[in-house]
């Protein structure tokens, strides 16, 4: 396999460069088939990468940037006034084909705007979508999109998400005919808002997709579908509210475990059990939302990602680069559009 290149925005995220760099060093050590472009402040990056061997170091380029997109920067401000930000440089590396993918844990709105502006969407795609894996009760994960790239959504956008999600499930999960579903408030045909009903009708007319109809919120996790499609507003709320409940369970485990000496003993004994359950639903390992529909690969990490979680996002970007996801999406969209003629 030929060498691939990953660009990383070192300055994004709530915990600052050390956490991102720790994940980056891990990726550099574990993946010799990748080169890395580290975008950020050289004074922060250089001391850290000195830990690498000479061979590892030879796969790393440090791209010094003077600016940082902050969490409070409006997307338009980041776009117009921060031409030398680490986030922009990472995306530009993808734009110029110097890199095959990029990852950032910075300001989501700014990342979306910059990626959209610099990379442009694929032909047939109006707007990119944010997509992520979620856990299910079955053996497989499920893809949920859009997670918030597009909060005022159209029927056409939902249709495009379905096509893109199907390609991703095929490539990343090895599914031959991924089951694609629309998220709705009831499984009956009469239910749902106007947008969802229109999209349902449209999706039923496309033989190239294995469209299975509606699923409800709780069915995201029951392995009913491989791809669950919804607008960015609803998808973001579904993601965050289920994450919120997972965090509530984790905080209850902590609280209850510490309530008295018996609970502490019980908790100690149960620890491996609790850990293996938590590992199944831990949002960290589902970190890395891909921005798909663009002419290049952009992966967004949670702002508050730990080093482990950021590594998952890097891993996700590497997989997409290896599988050449944008090219495959382009091909599928052409097929579906031809079918529609």
**Binding to a copy of itself (CB under 8 A): which residues in 172-191?**
183, 185-186, 188, 190-191
Candidates 42-50, 55-63, 232-240, 287-295; binding stretch for a copy of itself (CB under 8 A): 232-240
- Residue 272 interacting with a copy of itself (CB under 8 A): yes
Number of H helices, E strands in the chain: 12, 11
Cβ atoms < 10 Å from Cβ of 272: 8
Strand partners, 5: 35
Question: What's the first-to-final CA gap in the chain, in angstroms?
Answer: 38
Candidates 55-63, 88-96, 155-163, 239-247; binding stretch for a copy of itself (CB under 8 A): 239-247
Give the distance from CA 221 to its chain's centroid. Answer: 18
Cβ atoms < 10 Å from Cβ of 281: 17
Q: Which helix (H) or strand (E) holds 40?
A: strand 34-40
Could you tell me which of 241, 302, 329, 254 has the C-alpha nearest to residue 106? 302
Candidates 3-11, 110-118, 162-170, 238-246; binding stretch for a copy of itself (CB under 8 A): 238-246
- Residue 260 interacting with a copy of itself (CB under 8 A): no
Omega before 125 within 30 of 0, i.e. cis: no
- Residue 304 interacting with a copy of itself (CB under 8 A): no
Kindly tell me which residue out of 51, 270, 334, 335 binds a copy of itself, with binding defined by CB under 8 A. Answer: 270
**Binding to a copy of itself (CB under 8 A): which residues in 121-140?**
135-137
Nearest approach, Cβ of residue 78 and a copy of itself (Å)? 12
Q: Evaluate whether 182 touches 196 at the Cβ level (below 8 Å).
A: yes
Which residues sit at the interface with a copy of itself, rule CB under 8 A? 72, 74, 108-109, 135-137, 148, 151-152, 183, 185-186, 188, 190-194, 196, 216-222, 230, 232-234, 236-249, 251-253, 256-257, 263, 266-267, 269-270, 272-274, 276-277, 280-281
């Amino acid at each position: 396999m030929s060498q691939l290149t990953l660009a990383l925005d070192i300055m994004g995220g709530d915990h600052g460069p050390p956490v991102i760099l720790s994940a980056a060093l891990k990726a550099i050590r574990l993946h010799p088939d990748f080169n890395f472009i580290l975008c950020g402040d050289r004074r922060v990056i250089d001391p850290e990468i000195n830990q690498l061997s000479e061979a590892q170091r030879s796969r790393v380029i440090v791209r010094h940037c003077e600016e940082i997109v902050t969490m409070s920067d409006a997307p338009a401000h980041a776009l117009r006034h921060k031409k030398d930000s680490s986030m922009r440089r990472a995306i530009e590396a993808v734009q110029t084909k110097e890199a095959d993918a990029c990852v950032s844990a910075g300001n989501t709105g700014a990342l979306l705007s910059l990626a959209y502006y610099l990379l442009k969407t694929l032909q047939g795609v109006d707007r990119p979508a944010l997509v992520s894996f979620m856990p299910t009760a079955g053996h497989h994960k499920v893809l949920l999109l859009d997670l918030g790239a597009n909060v005022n959504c159209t029927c056409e956008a939902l249709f495009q998400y379905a096509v893109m999600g199907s390609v991703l499930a095929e490539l990343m999960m090895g599914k031959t005919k991924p089951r694609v579903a629309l998220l709705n408030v009831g499984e009956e045909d009469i239910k749902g808002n106007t947008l969802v009903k229109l999209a349902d009708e449209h999706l039923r007319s496309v033989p190239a997709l294995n469209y299975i109809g509606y699923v409800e919120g709780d069915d995201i996790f029951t392995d009913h579908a491989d791809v669950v499609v919804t607008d960015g507003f609803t998808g973001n709320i579904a993601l965050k509210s289920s994450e919120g409940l997972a965090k509530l369970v984790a905080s209850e485990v902590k609280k209850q475990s510490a309530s008295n000496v018996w609970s502490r003993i019980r908790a100690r004994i149960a620890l491996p059990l609790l850990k293996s359950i938590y590992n199944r639903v831990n949002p960290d390992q589902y970190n890395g939302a891909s921005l798909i529909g663009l002419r290049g690969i952009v992966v967004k990490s949670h702002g508050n990602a730990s080093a482990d979680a950021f590594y998952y996002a890097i891993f996700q970007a590497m997989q997409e680069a290896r599988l050449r996801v944008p090219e495959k999406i382009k091909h599928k969209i052409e097929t579906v559009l031809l079918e529609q003629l």
